[in-house]
Structure 1
C-alpha cells in the first residue's frame, strides 16, 4: 500500500437494524463453497494492495457473519459492533499476512473475531472466576466456527503436519504473526529479534510450508 492508501478507512458503521444476532450467511459467503471462498480470497488480496472498494465489498459480504459471531459470544450488541469494527480494521492492516493455504477467508475472519471477543471477555471479567468462564466458552463452540473447521479439516491436518517440518524459530514466528495477529515489529519485540530477521523467518517458513503442502522441492 502507498502511504495514502495505508491509512485505515473511516470508522465502519454496522448496517444491521436493531434485532437478534443474524445467523444466515450472506450470499456467496457460506462455508464449504469453494467458488465463494476464492472470490473472498481475491478481495483480501485486493485489500492488501490498498483497494478500498474491495474492502467495502469484503465487509458487505462477510460482516453479518463476523457481527453474528461476536454477538453470540459477547451477548451485547454494542460490544459486538465494537469487536466487528476492530476485526475489520485489523483486516485492513493485516490483509497482506493472509495466506489461503492456511485457512479460508471466512475461517480467517472467524478466527480473528473469536480471538478478539475472547480478549474482550477476559478484560471485562478480570478479577472474576475467569477460568471456569473460559472453560465453558471453549467447550461450547460457536456453530460458525465449527462449520468452517469442518470444511477445512483435511487442509488443517496437512498444515499442522507441515508446520512440524519447520524449525522451532520459523514455527514460533509464523504462529505469532499469523495466528496471533501481531505485526512484524511486535513479534520482533517479543522475540527480542531484529524485524528483518522476523521477516526472513516468515518468508523462509512459508516457502518450506508451501513445498510441504504441494510436495515440491523447497529450493
Structure 2
C-alpha cells in the first residue's frame, strides 16, 4: 500500500468511514505495535497502548493534514507520543519509599508534645486565676472562635465592655505565664 493510499484512508477515517478505518488498521497495526513495544518494552502494555492509539486515530483523524510528510510518520508519531505518555503517567503513580523518607512528618514529636502539654497546663492554671465570666469569655473567643458580639450578647454586656474584658484578661494571662 502506498503513502497516498494510507493518506486517503486517514482522510476517509476522519469522515467516520469504518471500512477505511478497518483497512487502515490492517495495513498499519504491525508497524504501530512495533513502535509501542519498542517504547514500552512490555508486550501486554504495548497491546493495550495500541488499542488506545487506534482510538486516538479514529477521534483525531481530522487533524491529519495531507502534506509532503509520509502519512505513516503521522501515525507513528501518534503511537510514539501515546506510549511516552503512558510511561510518564506510570512514573507519577510509582512513588517509592525513598521519596517518602524525604517528606517531613507534620505531627509534633514527643518533645514538642511534652512542651505543649506543659504550656497547656500553665495556660489552664492561669485561666483559673481569672474571674469565671472573664475566663469563659477568653475561652469562647480564643478556643471556640466566637465573635466579640456573640460573647457580649451571651454575657449580657455591651460590645466595648467585652473588648475591654478580653484585652485586660489577656494582659493578666501574659503576666501569669511570664512568672
Q: TM-score, structure 1 length as denominator? A: 0.41
Larger radius of gyration: 2
Normalized against structure 2, the TM-score is what?
0.50
Structure with the larger helix share: 2
